[in-house]
Structure 1
């Protein structure tokens, strides 16, 4: 299987992502934030969309579901706990499920916290993670429908994936996340390098993701709430990781 990926801007700061199998297999949109940009990429490449993998119910990730389904006759897959809130949902899935899209294997990971039933998609053979609004580069999603313990558990599931997994997320938030991360973890040399890289990419108008999960494990404060050094850096030495995570998320909310 030969996979091609196209990532492109949608709406104000969303990412659209299309995964295409050149061997005649599936053509998959990760969420559907906006019809126009998605269709433009498909027409440019000569691809026919076969599936939408929906991560959560928010409108900026599902707005184009109905229009794309009407245009392409595709299948929409999404989280079982949000099935009543996903437009056009055909198949409901939950953590631990494995989806076979004509040979493209996809594992479903429960990642509630941002929303009550959000999920992420992992393609182990391709080493790809589509976490969208659960995990951002150097950040994580706001806790709109979950609490700190729920989100921390979700991020631990994602953190357990191999370091060479490439992370794709739902928004271009990395520059702001980077400024926050270096404020709370100023002595992290790897983070200092990532901050410089992010600044350079944004000056050039380039996307800051995908990024390897291994780099995120070492630089993203929200994946390191159980790191004693980070807890000490924010004045919470010895605190429970959930409390550290909650404090980080609250600080980021007002950043």
Structure 2
């Protein structure tokens, strides 16, 4: 049986650790009306669904699900990256990836499947098992698999702990059960807490040029109104030390 709009709103409210009074005040509705929506006694309008979802920071894909459950049409369009409406976004992604050379950069979707990468990023994949490069390529699994990058990551324990923490945050934010599965794969066998004097967790990879050390930044589209764009992230890697800068420069 499909969940009702009220049930979904209640689940998101609880995920955000808000009381009905908290959400009602934020959305400028009465607690009674909110209670009736959550229990199914009142069918919310599309504008009410969007108002509540905005206050709950519900991702666009899930906002559409709540709207459908309430009997309304989705408010946020979704396209494939190859579709004509996405042409400008694709050009922006290509320009960012190209401009980041000679340093690695890649684009992933919400589930960490690889969307695009520059030549520098592909150049780090030497020796990776061919089966791990069959689409869809999941960047998390590529990082932790014994036939992936794991044997070459010099600070594997530290990097796995970082990935586990990030996946936990992203699952909490989106509610995507696939991210919970990825998290469980990362922590399988245990995660040892690692303390480091570094300001950020580096990604340290053994290569023919020696150990390359990177820090990463994440870039997303500002104020996206389209589902696919809202779920894309650009992971750009910068040298974390002078040796890496010289090796890639």
> Normalized against structure 1, the TM-score is what?
0.29
* Larger fraction in helix: 2
